[in-house]
Amino acid sequence: MRTHAILGCALILAGCAARTPAPVDDRRPQPLPTRPPVAKPVPAAPATVPPGHYVVRRGDTLYSIALEYGQDYRDLQRWNAIDDPTRLRVGQVLRVVPPEGEAPVQVGAARKAAGKIIDVDAGGVWVEVG
């Protein structure tokens, strides 16, 4: 029994004496080769913007521009011959007032229909005012 204990201790000490490191895989992402930064071409803004026009900036939508100028986005789409209102370009010049000879349409203004005054409430619902 005593020899088994001594033999067991000797094996444990022999296992601890081995200094072979465990195999380890480096799974961290390797750094990409560095390239010099490429400057993106910035569209040149027009020198002067005619009155009644707007230059599209990053983040603008046709709806937000129309709202800012009190117009309907569908009118802006028609006045500027825009097929897809989600495809605006930074630097694009848009007409934001009606062309000559076209009456402006007020968005959300009170309207009179069949002797009743109709308005649009904050939720976009038509309500009878008087």
Looking at the DSSP bridge assignments, the partners of residue 54 are: 94
For all residues of the chain together, what is the average pLDDT? 77
Q: Encoding tokens for residue 130?
A: 């008087």
Band (pLDDT 50/70/90 cuts) for residue 116 is low
> How far does CA 124 lie from the centroid of its chain?
25
pTM over 0.85: no
- Write out pLDDT tens, residues 55-100: 999 999 999 999 999 999 999 999 999 999 888 999 999 999 998 8
Quote the number of domains for the chain: 1
CATH number of domain containing 97: 3.10.350.10
In a domain, 37, yes or no: no
Q: Encoding tokens for residue 103?
A: 């009456």
> What is residue 28's DSSP assignment?
S
Q: Which domain holds residue 117?
A: 53-128
- Write out pLDDT tens, residues 31-44: 777 777 777 766 66
